[in-house]
Amino acid sequence: MISPNKLYTLLLSLMVGGVIALAMACTTQRKEQPIRRTSPLQLRLPSSTSKVKAATNAGDNFFVRLQSESAWTLHLSPETAKEWITLERTRGEAVARPLDIAVQLSKNLGPAREAKLIVRSGSLADTIVITQQGTAPLPPPPPPSPNPNPNPPTPDPSGEHILGDVTLLEAPALAGGSNNYYITHKANNVVNYSLEYDADKRHPRFVCFSFDDITSETAVKRTDAWKWDPMIPQQYSTESMFRNSGYDRGHLVASHDRVYSREANMQTFYYSNMSPQLPNFNQKYWSKLEQQVQSWGRNKKFRDVLYVAKGGTIRDDQVENTKVQGHIVVPKYYWMAMVVKKGDAYHGLAFWLEHKEWDMKTPMMTVALSIDELEKKLGIDLFHNFPDDIEKKFEAEDPSDPSMRAHWPGI
């Protein structure tokens, strides 16, 4: 039989041990271990509980979401990961609300690779693993068929020709269809601009690009390097169709949008970037809007990045009855959409205007509207690669709201 004193001592020991075990179980994991949702520091992928981001060898653009109750720093491991991973920011103060940070992965021409994205705050840390597929060698050709004229499979009529990066934040959602070519042109290994070209209508559905510290530079002059787009079959060329048509070869990505390198400017003269525009529209009010966008894009105090999508309408109910040379549709309307990122803030603005001569004194607010309104007119999902919460906010912004005008000086 256990004496009362020994029984009391045994019970006290069990109680103390239980408290210690409970305290250890509630201790926050440190170093590079995952942090629970109740932790004062957390790094995760939006709308996902996974701690691994898998990317294809074509590159990727995505956001990570950070929460921290104190100052934090973001690191890549190993150090060589900086050669293929670009972080929007790497340090900051405490954030009261979750902070989304853009991450860009370059194209991988070598073997598969992996890196850790680590956030630290004091003695706490949290990690996301980033993996990227390698570029696999081409498979050997199949042996010749014993039948010299086999029945080929029917191609998927909805399949679009994807020759570019569809994950770019400035890229709208694609229309699909075997008549469409989505292309990303690069200059000096930098993304220059992208477009979706409708080969049936001989006109781009949209073009898109961004201004940052590299692409906003003014280093070269206009090249006038007119030629057909080498990434679209020559059979769709419009090189000879504008002559004596009464329309300008209207750039959608303007020549002066891209003067950071000679190659970049030359690519703006591809005919896939041209739209048949009335001279008094192209050279006057449309040009005025383009110059305003360029002034925003080259103002480092205004933007960290300015994302731009532009186009002329090509939907059947939004084109003129007559085509140029029987092939090129003529838009009834032209549009621009912009998203400016400065620090943690994003703001959106759009322009929509009829294809006609405009009085140069027309205030820009006359043709300004929200991106939501523009999407309804176009039937195009713009800027869909942004996180939904960020996209919903900037696309709803009404430019007629006086508080919004401060974000877009000059309109």
Burial string for 328-350 (b: 16+ CB within 10 Å, else e) reads bbbbbbbbbbbbbbeeeebbbbb
Dihedral over Cα of 378, 383, 388, 390: its sign: negative
Would you call 251 a catalytic residue per the annotation? yes
Residue 76 neighbours by CB distance under 10 Å? 20
CA distance 192 to 229: 14
Q: Which residues, other chains included, contact 338 with Cβ-Cβ below 8 Å and sequence gap of 6+?
A: 293, 296, 306, 307, 308, 348, 349, 350
CA distance 325 to 314: 16
Tokens of 283: 């050279």
| Binding site as annotated, residues for Mg(2+) | 282
Q: Which of 161, 251, 355, 407 is catalytic?
A: 251
Residue 89 neighbours by CB distance under 10 Å? 13
DSSP 145: P
CA angle, corner 278, sides to 277 and 279, nearest 5? 110
User: In this structure, what are the phi and psi dihedrals at residue 312, rounded to the nearest 5 degrees?
Assistant: -115, 145
Catalytic site residues? 251
